[in-house]
Amino acid sequence: MKNKGQTFARTLGSVLQLNTKSMAIQAGVQVAVWALTVGILAVVDGFIQSDSPALFLGLPGIFTVCAGAILLFIEGMQQFNMDFVVQINFGIARRRALQVGWVAVLGYGVVTAVLSAVLEAFWYFVLAGGQGESFLCRIPAWGWLCLVLMPAALSALAVGVMHRFGAKGGLVLWLSFMVLCQVPQLLEITSKNALELLADMLPVFLPLVGLAAAVVGTVLLYRDNAAVTNR
């Protein structure tokens, strides 16, 4: 058991070392998005004199979180697709490769959430002087959990489905995404109470969806081509 733990630690250390540059680039993109948003709002305030400066809006934090979630999804696709296959080809057991991939992607998620919170705090206390409208402060704990989990879980599910079912799986994922995008509008048309009920269920519903996507994606990846790799 000790040898297995040491081997896992060495494998994880190697993967994180290889991904240090990628993690730095991801953090740099988030900071760049934040700085660009702040710069644009500052220019707008320079041309338009208003009692409510545009810089006081919480747009920098919103764009930073959105950029981080997109980058995290892309990183998850990389980890569970190319990096996963490379590790198996180098003789790493499929289960261990999945474990390392999950730890790495969730690590990215934690860095994304922490960096977003730090940038939001700097904007609120330094740039806005504590008078800004911070939307990130309204995000509950389950929302930050979803920020870390959902992009990673959806990337694992997407890669697993496409590996298992090919192009048809990709089409199913796309159609499912389009249907889900229409659900709030359909509920609003059907019944306003149904939309309010869905909103009340989000603290439980979204984390469960993320967990289900993570489990299904991991199972599909583990079983994909298992007879060939025998791992």
Look up the pTM and report it.
0.84
Quote the pLDDT of residue 14: 64
Contacts 24+ apart (CB under 8 A), 7-10: 7/96, 8/96, 8/99, 8/100
Place of tokens 């008078």: 131
Domain map (residue ranges) of the chain: 2-229
Q: Which amino acid is it at 65?
A: V
- Report which of 152, 171, 174 is spatially closest to residue 78, judged by C-alpha positions: 152
For CA atoms 208, 224, 151, 97, give the dihedral sign.
Answer: positive
Quote the pLDDT of residue 7: 59
Digitized pLDDT (tens) for each residue of the chain, 231 residues in all: 555 555 556 666 666 666 777 888 889 999 999 999 999 988 888 887 766 777 788 889 999 999 999 999 999 999 898 888 888 888 888 888 898 889 889 989 999 999 999 999 999 998 888 888 888 888 898 999 999 999 999 999 999 998 888 878 888 888 887 877 776 676 666 666 766 777 777 788 888 989 999 999 999 998 875 434 444
